Amino acid sequence: MKPVLEAPGAEITNGLVHAQLYLPDGENGYYRGTRFDWSGVVSTLDYKGHTYHGKWFDKYNPTTHDAIMGPVEEFGPLGFTDAKVGESFVKIGIGAITKPDEKPYSSFRPYTIANPGSWSVKKKADQVQFVHTLTDANYGYDYQKTLKLTKGKPELVITHTLKNTGTRTIETTVYNHNFFVIDQQPTGPGYAVTLPVSTLSPEGGRGMGDLLTFKDNQLIYLRDLEKKEQAYFPDLAAGKSVPYELNVSNTKTGAGVNVTGDREISKLVFWSSSTTVCPEPYINLNIAPGKSFSWQITYQYYLK
C-alpha cells in the first residue's frame, strides 16, 4: 500500500486485512485540524484486493477540517458556551482550543490549539493503541483508543475508554463519520446502504427524490452524484435510539462492510458526496468526574 502523503504512520495486518494509519503529530501529522479526533486515521484498508477506505477529497491542507480518511470520530465541544473570548474550550482527541470571538461554535471553522495535551502510541503487528491525556482548567481526561485487526477474520475492532480526570462532567456526543470509499467507486446506484431504522426520516434533508430515495430501511441512489453535489439528512432515526447496526456495500465490485457497536445510536446522520458514502452514528456521553465510559465499534469486511 502506498501512503497518500508522507507523514508519521503505521501499517497493520492480520494476514487477511492490511491497513495504513496516520499517527497524531502536532508538527508533521497528516491531520492537524480542530474537528476530528487525531487518532485512528485510516488512510487505506484492503481485503482480497478490494479497498474500503481512502482519499475522497481533491484539495489537501493538514488543518482543513475534513482532510481526513477512514472511520474517524468527532466529539462535541466541551465548555464552549461558558468560555469567554480568549479562554479555552475542549475537543476530545485534539486538546484545549482558544475561543476567538462570540460567534457560535462551528466544526468547519479552524481554531487555535492552546493546549494539545500529550499523546502516546504503541504499535504492534496487528494493532495500534493511542492514548491522549489532557489537563485543562475545568476539563481533564485520559482517552484510550485501539484499532485492532481480529485474528483470522476480515475484521477491524475499535475500542475506546474515556476517563474523566477533571472537575466537570463530560456531557457531549461522539460520532463516527465513516468515510467509506469502496474500490474508488463513484457515489450512485452501485452503492447499497442499510440502516437500523424501519422507516427512515427525510426531515430537514436534501437530495430526496433527486439523488436518492428510501425503501424501508434502505437508502437507494437514483443516479451518480456529480461533483459538488451532496446528499444530507440530519437524523434518519427522527430522534429515536436504535441499535448500532449498518451496512454499506458496492454491488458492482461485491465489496461491503457490516458495522456494529455495543452502544445504542442516539442520532443517525447521513451525508455523501460524489466520492464518499457516510452514515454517521452518534452516541451520547455523560461521564462524571472520576468515572470512565467505554464503547466499541466493529467493522466486518466481506466480498459477495
Please tell me the distance from the alpha carbon of residue 136 to that of residue 243, in angstroms, as a whole number. 34
Q: What is the pLDDT of residues 121-139, one digit of tens each?
A: 999 999 999 999 999 988 9
Confidence of residue 234 (pLDDT cuts 50, 70, 90): very high
Conformational region of residue 86, where left means phi above 0, alpha means psi within -120 to 50, and beta covers everything else: left
Q: What is the pLDDT of residues 163-178, one digit of tens each?
A: 999 999 999 999 999 9
Q: Cell numbers 484486493 label which residue?
A: 49
Please tell me the distance from the alpha carbon of residue 167 to that of residue 173, in angstroms, as a whole number. 19
Please tell me the distance from the alpha carbon of residue 93 to that of residue 75, in angstroms, as a whole number. 8
Region 223-230: what's the mean pLDDT? 97
- Half-sphere exposure at residue 183, Cβ-oriented, CA atoms within 13 angstroms: 20
Is the model's pLDDT at 29 over the cut of 70?
yes
Please tell me the distance from the alpha carbon of residue 43 to that of residue 60, in angstroms, as a whole number. 13
pLDDT recorded at residue 68 = 97
Is the model's pLDDT at 4 over the cut of 80?
no
pLDDT recorded at residue 289 = 97
User: Hey, how many other C-beta atoms are within 10 angstroms of the C-beta on 168?
Assistant: 17
Is the model's pLDDT at 85 over the cut of 90?
yes
Please tell me the distance from the alpha carbon of residue 222 to that of residue 147, in angstroms, as a whole number. 35
Can you give the pTM of this predicted structure? 0.96
Here the cell at position 131 is: 492514548
Nearest Cα residue to 278 out of 119, 47, 72: 72
Q: What is the pLDDT of residues 55-80, one digit of tens each?
A: 999 999 999 999 999 999 999 999 99
